Amino acid sequence: MLLAGLSLGCLAQELPKATIILVNPSKTDRIDEVMEVSWKDIQIKYPAIDTANFKVINPENGQEVAFQLDRGEGNVIKNLLVQLSLKAGRQVKLLIIKGKPAPVARKAYGRFVPERYDDFAWENDKVAHRMYGEALESRKDNAFGTDIWVKRTDRLVIDDWYKSGDYHTDHGEGMDYYSVGFTLGAGDIAPYLKDSVVFSKNYHHWKVLNNGPLRVTFELGYDAWNVAGRAIKVTKRISLDAGSRMNRIEARYAYSGKEALPVVIGIVKRKEPGKVRMDERLKLLGYWEPEHGTDGTTGVGVIAEGQVEKVNEDGMHYLIHTVAKNNEPVVYYSGSAWSKSKEITTAEQWFDYLSVFKSKLLQPVKISVK
Q: How many domains does the chain have?
A: 2
- Which CATH number characterizes residue 90's domain? 2.60.40.1180
Q: Find the domain containing 223 and state its range.
A: 108-362
DSSP class of residue 174 equals E
| 56-94 tens-digit pLDDT | 999 999 999 999 999 998 899 999 999 999 999 999 999
What is the maximum span of the chain, computed from C-alpha positions, in angstroms? 83
Query: Last residue of a domain, which of 101, 133, 164?
Result: 101
369 in a domain, yes or no? no
Domain boundary among 58, 86, 101: 101
Is 210 found in the same domain as 78?
no
Contact 341, 150 (CB under 8 A): yes
Q: What is the pLDDT of residue 7?
A: 34
Residue 51 DSSP code = T
In the prediction, which pLDDT does 15 show?
85
Whether 311 and 330 have beta carbons less than 8 Å apart is answered as no
Residue 29 β-bridge partners: none
pLDDT given at position 258: 85
* Whole-prediction pTM: 0.94
What pLDDT is attached to residue 257? 85
Ranges of residues in the chain whose predicted pLDDT is under 70: 1-13
Residue 272 shares a structural domain with residue 177: yes
**Phi, psi values for residue 232, rounded to 5°:** -125, 135
**Which amino acid is residue 204, in one-letter code?**
H
Q: What does the pLDDT look like over 180-199, one tens digit per residue?
A: 999 999 999 999 999 999 99
Among 65, 85, 101, the domain boundary falls at 101
User: How confident is the model at residue 10, as a pLDDT?
Assistant: 39
Residue-level pLDDT at 4? 36
